[in-house]
Amino acid sequence: MSDDSNATVERVLLAAPRGFCAGVEMAIKALAWMVRAFDGPVYCYHEIVHNQQVVQRFEEQGVVFVDDVAEVPPGRPLMLSAHGSAPEVVQAARDNGGFVVDAVCPLVTKVHHEVKVRANKGYQIVYIGHEGHEEAVGTMAVAPEAIHRVESVEEVDALPDFDTPVALLAQTTLSHRDWADVASATAERFPDVWTPGRSDLCFATTNRQSALMEIAPRCDAMVVIGSANSSNTVALERLARGAGCATVLRINTADELPRRADGSVDLHGVVGVTAGASAPEELVEQVIAALAPRDGVEEVHLTDEDEYFPPPRNLRDMLVAIDALGALGLGADPTVRVASDDRNRAASEVLADLT
């Protein structure tokens, strides 16, 4: 950490991994395929991911975001967001008669599955999750009669004495710190509680938090890039504060950095930079350019992430069919060509190509 109190940013410590996770990559690429494959408008239930810039980029391409499937005209193509949707929303989407792609992250699907199985076996489920967050709302709707959402030790204490077995599940994007105390209190209250072999906290959330903790002790200030409604972004912000960073800023874009009268960024010393799982890398580049660190950027690399989630199956099948028609010259749009494997195509490039 620097004790340099003069005006410049000395160095940037850049956390890795940061930004887009495998689930967000999949969802963005899937919606981009929908935009290219269908005449507009394509509809999307909820923000595809919780990031203003990503949502805006798709809106510019004519995507209409709705909070109720009833707003979608019958027969229109519809995507369901990465956070996972309630079973009745999925059913309403299918009943609407258009092509429906469910871009739920497979890790959220795993939690939905756990809820369903445990509820069917007669368990009461203690679910650690944020009130009103779309992932929590969708997960709780899988078995509303059996699930009890908690966020604090006090809420665990206030649960009734269940006369059935109890299971413990969680929202994927919680910080380990937010989860651990509540999980321990649940295990204390219900000593025979069933828990999954691996906690529901997802690898991407955990990796971004560990990378932040690696750089936090060396930073005079921490900049967390991401939206206020992004759970994993807010978890990063809280973690940085908990780690004792003197200044923690959560920003959507570089425009929100504090500025002096001369336009330079009003931070100094060593500045840590990270980004939530739904924030594009171009925002990170813009923030670093604005910080203009005197001694450059040091990327602190905690671990590699090679997870890849393919597009949802029905979208994949449709794209392959379009490609086959194109190859046969049967009138499909020849610009809609399908990479047999989009693993090596970054969602940030796909987003940039949309403009």
**Inter-residue contact 103 to 42 (CB < 8 Å):** no
Contacts of 249 (CB under 8 A, 6+ apart): 221, 222, 223, 224, 256, 257, 258
Closest CB to ligand SF4: residue number? 23
Q: How far is the CB of 150 from ligand SF4 (least distance, A)?
A: 20
Which residue from 81, 90, 6 is spatially nearest to 45, judged by alpha carbons?
81
Nearer to ligand SF4 by C-beta: 116 or 189?
Answer: 116
Is 135 considered catalytic here?
Answer: yes
Name the active-site residue from 59, 135, 237, 281. Answer: 135
Nearer to ligand SF4 by C-beta: 186 or 230?
Answer: 230
Residue 191, burial from CB neighbour count under 10 angstroms (0-12, 13-18, 19+): exposed
Nearer to ligand SF4 by C-beta: 13 or 204?
Answer: 204
Structure tokens at 56: 């805006």
CA distances from 41 to 36, 72, 78, 97, 123 (A): 11, 10, 9, 15, 43
Contacts of 157 (CB under 8 A, 6+ apart): 185, 189
| Bridge partners, residue 15, by sequence | 300
Nearer to ligand SF4 by C-beta: 82 or 216?
Answer: 82
The DSSP line for 337-355 is PPPS-GGGS-HHHHHHHT-
Q: How far is the CB of 155 from ligand SF4 (least distance, A)?
A: 23
- Residues near ligand SF4 (CB under 6 A) are 21-24, 82, 105, 107-108, 172-173, 202, 204-205, 232, 277
Q: What is the DSSP letter of 78?
A: E
- Residue type present at position 187: A
Q: How far is the CB of 107 from ligand SF4 (least distance, A)?
A: 4
Q: How far is the CB of 11 from ligand SF4 (least distance, A)?
A: 28
Nearer to ligand SF4 by C-beta: 186 or 205?
Answer: 205
Helix H segments across the chain?
22-37, 52-60, 87-95, 106-120, 134-140, 153-157, 176-189, 203-215, 231-242, 281-291, 313-328, 347-353
Q: How far is the CB of 321 from ligand SF4 (least distance, A)?
A: 27
Nearer to ligand SF4 by C-beta: 132 or 296?
Answer: 132
Q: How far is the CB of 84 from ligand SF4 (least distance, A)?
A: 9
Instruction: Cite the active site residues.
Output: 135
